Amino acid sequence: MSEHCVQVFLRLSSEHGSEKETERIAELTDKLADAIEKHEAGEFDGDEYGGGVCRLFMYGPDADRLFDAIKKPLLASTLSKGGHAIKRYGEASDKKAKEVRIDL
């Protein structure tokens, strides 16, 4: 079974974000990880800061199910304003894997 991915892109106030932003993002990632676990949709794999963006990485067997699991806590956070998510239906190595962008 292929591994699907959901990446969330959150806009930051500076190159790597403020201390307050990184604290709030850590709180959000805890909520996302809990939601993914609760729905048995996959796993939260981490984050990456740089270029004025924080990218969150989540993996599981079904990108739609994974996004549905995180949608409520993600959209409830003001951090998502102006951000977007990418649902990838397939392995990262599959250059033909379908991707869908969702503006938050």
Residue 99 to residues 3, 37, 95, Cα–Cα distance (Å): 13, 23, 10
Q: Has residue 2 got a pLDDT over 70?
A: no
Q: Has residue 1 got a pLDDT over 60?
A: no
pTM above 0.85, yes or no: yes
Sequence-ordered list of residues with C-beta below 8 angstroms from that of 97, at least 6 positions apart, any chain: 2, 88, 89, 90, 91
Angle at 20 between CA 69 and CA 88, to 5 degrees: 30
